[in-house]
Chains A and B, each alone.
Chain A
Amino acid sequence: SAVISQKPSRDICQRGTSLTIQCQVDSQVTMMFWYRQQPGQSLTLIATANQGSEATYESGFVIDKFPISRPNLTFSTLTVSNMSPEDSSIYLCSAEAGARADGELFFGEGSRLTVL
């Protein structure tokens, strides 16, 4: 399985500020994803982080609000811009481990953001 490290693990942020979450995978992976999870609820896919090109966003999510970088095959960042209390959530990085996996995703520990 792939090991995924995320930071920060949690943060408390002020309204109107931006925060960047980092995701590091211990091996090269083809696909990386960013999910949002409201506490105790299911996962919603924000976007697919594509290496070398712009991220692919799901309906309801836009690049201006959630810019994503993917500079190489092991690293990605998600920025939550101009935060409001509605952005308080857990943000999860995940990856498909390619040839070492058979369809499943692996997840980081999550970044719990609280916006005041």
Chain B
Amino acid sequence: AQSVAQPEDQVNVAEGNPLTVKCTYSVSGNPYLFWYVQYPNRGLQFLLKYITGDNLVKGSYGFEAEFNKSQTSFHLKKPSALVSDSALYFCAVRPGRYSSASKIIFGSGTRLSIRP
């Protein structure tokens, strides 16, 4: 079965330190990979995506993610965390360009907490 795993329910980082939010997937073919962020009482906001090409993709708010096909991972990273980065982060996978958007699978979410 196709799935997305975010192994950490919560990640705690001090402001200014680098952060990583982990995501692994199990999808056949060439998936599209996404990261979304959800601030309290808000909808999901698109951060970045990997479709093809360079394995390192850059997105909004200084975030980046690295696609690793051999490890089937798509970890979200930021070199220097801000308190304002504190939010709920979702990894999502779409099983290929021609799959229906209804097939997008969301991870369970990771709560990122940045302490001053």
* Chain A residues proximal to chain B, CB less than 8 Å: 1, 4, 6, 31, 33, 40-43, 45, 48, 56, 58, 92, 94, 96, 102-110, 112
Q: Which 9 A-B pairs have the closest CB atoms?
A: A107-B43, A96-B101, A103-B32, A107-B44, A109-B43, A43-B106, A42-B108, A110-B43, A48-B102
B101 with A109: CB separation less than 8 A: no
* Chain B residues proximal to chain A, CB less than 8 Å: 32, 34, 36, 41-46, 49, 51, 88, 90, 94, 97, 100-102, 104, 106-109, 111
Complex contacts, A33 vs chain B, CB 8 Å: 101-102
Contact residues of A: prevailing secondary structure: strand
A105 with B109: CB separation less than 8 A: no
Tell me the smallest distance from the CB of B102 to a CB of chain A, in Å.
5
- Interface centre among A41, A102, A104, by most chain B C-beta atoms within 10 angstroms, is A104
Known: A45-B102, A56-B102, A103-B32. A92 touches B44 (CB 8 A): yes
Q: How far is the CA of A103 from the CA of B88 in the complex (A)?
A: 21
Known: A102-B51, A103-B51. A41 touches B108 (CB 8 A): yes
B102 with A103: CB separation less than 8 A: no
Q: How far is the CA of A45 from the CA of B7 in the complex (A)?
A: 21
CB-nearest residue of chain A relative to B99? A103
Complex contacts, A45 vs chain B, CB 8 Å: 102
Complex contacts, A110 vs chain B, CB 8 Å: 41-43
CB-nearest residue of chain B relative to A111? B43
Complex contacts, A31 vs chain B, CB 8 Å: 100-102
Known: A31-B102, A43-B90. A92 touches B43 (CB 8 A): yes
